[in-house]
Amino acid sequence: TQHITIAIDGFSSCGKSTLAKALAKKMNYTFIDSGAMYRCVALYAIQNGCALGAHKINLTCVVNSLPQIHIQFGEADELGNRPVLLNGEDVSHAIRQLEVANIVSEVAAIREVREFLVEQQQELGKNGGVVMDGRDIGTVVFPHAELKLFITAKPEIRAQRRFLELQAKGEINSLGEILENLKHRDRIDSTRAISPLTQAKDALVVDNSEMSETEQLEYVMNLVKNHT
Ligand code: C5P
């Protein structure tokens, strides 16, 4: 069978990575979480003193730190999760903190950061057989992907899902705080000058507000069948 490229884009906490992971596992493809790469740069920025509080960063500081940032993905576990390594250290948990989420969109709006990561993403996916999720995968990273999905869900449902996810990891945040962060990131991600989050013309829209993870996977597997 042909090894296609599957691009999955959409707003924050729409279940993109959950879907991407499940899809990659089912198809024996490689899953790449591009958001984790932006989160690594944001985490490094915090560690390096480039963060000036929520939603504030020192741009020059972030750009200057790029040559010191080396990102790798480890082998997938049985759920399809891949450890994320920042300069050899496992940061899979650290990059999910709200502190990182609070500056990641500002970091991702920097042209140099995007150029730095897009090049690596294209390299990781150059042989196909890849499911990559993010914001600009179908538009910028893989404009020729055979299958492009644009995932959406209602903001309140997304906040609720993220709340449960963080809670399961022992992180207690208020639902309101999470909803605020989501809306903030949605706004920055879709209005930034460089590669804003937009639906590719040839993307198929999947609204999963009312779908379970299993239903969504089934639905998407049917779309995949028509594209391979
Ligand atoms: O997907 P996730 O929510 O982990 O991504 C974190 C942030 O990284 C997003 O809010 C967005 O600002 C940025 N991002 C991006 N382009 C991508 C993936 C993520 O700008 N392809």
> Which of the listed residues 18, 34, 181 should we mutate to test ligand 1's pocket, taking the one with most ligand atoms within 8 A of CB?
34
Q: How many domains does the chain have?
A: 1
Query: Which residue's CA is minimally distant from atom 15 of ligand 1?
Result: 135
Q: How remote is the CA of residue 179 from the centroid of ligand 1, in Å?
A: 16
Phi first, then psi, for residue 48 (nearest 5°) are: -90, 5
- Predicted confidence at residue 50, as pLDDT, reads 98
Q: How remote is the CA of residue 115 from the centroid of ligand 1, in Å?
A: 14
Q: How remote is the CA of residue 227 from the centroid of ligand 1, in Å?
A: 26
Position in ligand 1 atom list of the atom nearest CA 141: 21
Position in ligand 1 atom list of the atom nearest CA 36: 4
Phi first, then psi, for residue 156 (nearest 5°) are: -65, -35
> Which of the listed residues 18, 104, 122, 148 should we mutate to test ligand 1's pocket, taking the one with most ligand atoms within 8 A of CB?
104
Please give the residue range of the domain that contains residue 201: 5-225
CATH code where residue 180 lies: 3.40.50.300
What residue numbers does the annotated binding site cover?
10-18
Which long-range CB contacts under 8 A does 212-221 form with residues at least 24 apart?
213/15, 213/18, 213/19, 213/22, 216/15, 216/19, 217/19, 217/22, 217/23, 217/26, 220/19, 220/23, 220/149, 221/23, 221/26
Q: How remote is the CA of residue 127 from the centroid of ligand 1, in Å?
A: 23
Q: How remote is the CA of residue 85 from the centroid of ligand 1, in Å?
A: 17
Q: Compute, in degrees rounded to 10, the torsion defined by CA atoms 147, 228, 129, 79.
A: 80
> Which of the listed residues 38, 71, 142 should we mutate to test ligand 1's pocket, taking the one with most ligand atoms within 8 A of CB?
38
Q: Any residues with Cβ below 6 Å from ligand 1, and which?
A: 12, 34-35, 38-39, 104-105, 108, 134-137, 185, 189
In the predicted model, residues of the chain with pLDDT beneath 70 are: 1
- Predicted confidence at residue 23, as pLDDT, reads 95
Q: What angle do CA 220, 211, 200 make, to 5 degrees?
A: 50
Task: Look at the chain and count its residues.
Answer: 228
The pLDDT tens digits of the residues spanning 114-150 come to: 999 999 999 999 999 999 999 999 999 999 999 999 9
- Predicted confidence at residue 1, as pLDDT, reads 56
- Predicted confidence at residue 226, as pLDDT, reads 85
- Predicted confidence at residue 169, as pLDDT, reads 84
The pTM of this model reads 0.93
